[in-house]
Amino acid sequence: MKLLTLIEKHRFTMLFASLLALIVVPSFMQLPFFQQLFNIICLSLVFITSAEAVVSRRKFLLVVLTFIAILIFFKWLIFISSVHDFVILCGESLILFFLIFIISRLVKKLFKSKEVTVDIIIMAVSIYLLLGIVGGSIASILNIFYPDAYAISSSIANHDIIFNYYSFVTMTTTGYGDIVPIRPETQSFAILLGLTGQFYMTVTIAILVGKFISSNNRKDFNK
């Protein structure tokens, strides 16, 4: 029981840690095989911690965990065997659907919160990281539909984890130029991705500041 209570107490911290691991850890693996392996391991952790962060009812949790098992199966199937692009597309689409569901639940929690706590700040940052991963997943899907969708620099050794990098670089409007959208569809998506990153930061900061001021006003009124 103590372990479950501890997990419940730090569920947003665990989600944030798993997201950071997904973004950072695979990049430090020298061999493409280990990059892909750790990418799948970290993504599996994101699935589990995100479900723990947003699901409370036991029956609903069982459904979500079943869906997570399917997602993990798809990812490992793609990793250990050569599969058709259609299977990869199905796997990526399921991941995209699940992450959007998680983001919607976290955003709902963010809007319902009455005070700005450490957990709320960690949740807000986690939503931003999840948006970046969603952007990478969509870019990966576009790359399946259009093999010439992106011009990728020859200095990039492994293309399997590059789209998360591309997503965050676009969201932060950095744009190093080592991966460039060259089709109208992917160029339009790059615009939307950049706007999403900027709007999210602006709106979230406004919401958090508003909640912080409102909370302080209530405390002063009650004194």
For residue range 40-55, list pLDDT tens digits in order.
Answer: 888 888 988 888 888 7
Tokens for 10? 């730090």
Say yes or no to pLDDT of 205 above 80. Answer: yes
Alpha-helix residue ranges (DSSP H) falling in 146-183: 162-171
Q: Is the pTM of this model over 0.75?
A: yes
Higher pLDDT residue, 159 or 100?
Answer: 100
- State both tokens at 165: 């990098």
How many residues make up the chain in this entry? Answer: 223
Q: Is the pLDDT of residue 139 over 60?
A: yes
Q: For 22-47, b where at least 16 C-beta lie within 10 A, e where not — what string? A: bbeebeebeeeeebbebbbbbbbbbb
Least confident of 7-11, 127-131, 197-201: 7-11
What pLDDT score was predicted for residue 217? 66
Among 90, 92, 15, 13, which residue's Cα sits nearest to residue 51? 15
Q: Give the single-character DSSP code of 27.
A: G
Tell me the one-letter amino acid at 21: A
Answer yes or no: are the C-beta atoms of 200 and 128 closer than 8 Å: yes
Tokens of 85: 């692009």
Ramachandran category for residue 141: left, alpha or beta (phi over 0 → left; psi -120 to 50 → alpha) = alpha
Would you give the DSSP letter of residue 214? H
What crossing angle do the helices spanning 162-171 and 118-145 adopt, rounded to 10°?
120
Q: What is the mean pLDDT of residues 86-111?
A: 86
Q: Which amino acid is at 193?
A: L
Q: Do 186 and 139 meet the contact criterion of CB atoms below 8 Å apart?
A: yes
Domain count, the chain: 1
The Cα–Cα gap between 215 and 178 comes to 45
Q: What integer pLDDT is reported at residue 161 of this predicted model?
A: 76
At 65 the pLDDT is: 75
pLDDT attached to residue 87: 74
pLDDT of residue 15: 92
DSSP 56: -
Confidence of residue 89 (pLDDT cuts 50, 70, 90): confident
Domain, as residue range, for 26: 2-222
pLDDT exceeds cutoff 70 at 195 = yes
Query: Residues 60-79: what's their mean pLDDT?
Result: 75
Dist CA 154 CA 178 (whole Å): 9
Type of residue numbered 205: I
DSSP 25: G
